[in-house]
Amino acid sequence: MSAPKKVRVNNYNTGIAAEYFVLSQLYRQNIEAYITIGNKKSIDIRIIKKDGTPISLDVKAVRGYTSLIVNNITHSPNHYFAFVVYNERFENIEYMPEIYILHSMMTKDIIKQYNKELRIMKGDILGYLNQWELLK
């Protein structure tokens, strides 16, 4: 008897699921937000703050739990990140992933080179869990 076939992880599905999950959380907090369309974009969600200031949000997701790939990130004054960590429970729809919210400028000092990729380690962003206030 042969071993069961391993299902290939679809990173595109992980990213799209995370974007819509974050969008849902924004709507639940009465934050005016709009998702952008396309798969090669640096801005996933546009937000209009209560004072009318537009900001952009880049959503990065990982099925695992230790680090997030950030090869194509942007640092600017009105740009933020939502890092969505599924902790190896992506397929469990009852599990609520962890969401870390950071201003883009805060990420400059915590990006690490790992092989040929730029990464942010989950341990470096633990203090930013559910920091939705940054987006209001």
Q: Count CB neighbours of 54 within 10 A.
A: 11
3-class secondary-structure state, position 61: strand
First to last CA, the chain: 56
Instruction: Tell me the average pLDDT across 7-16.
Output: 77
DSSP string, 84-135: EE-TT-TT-TTPPPEEEEEEGGGGTTTEEEETTEEEEEGGGTGGGBT-GGGG
Q: What is the pLDDT of residues 45-102, one digit of tens each?
A: 999 999 999 999 999 999 998 899 999 888 999 999 999 999 999 999 999 999 999 9
**Dihedral sign computed on CA atoms, order 111, 47, 62, 74:** negative
Rg from Cα positions in the chain: 15
Residue 5 has pLDDT above 70, yes or no: no
Domain boundaries, the chain: 11-135
Does residue 7 register a pLDDT over 60? no
pLDDT digits (tens, 9 = 90+) for 97-125: 999 999 999 999 999 998 899 999 999 99
CATH match of 11-135 with 3.40.1350.10:
yes
The pLDDT, as a whole number, for residue 136 is: 92
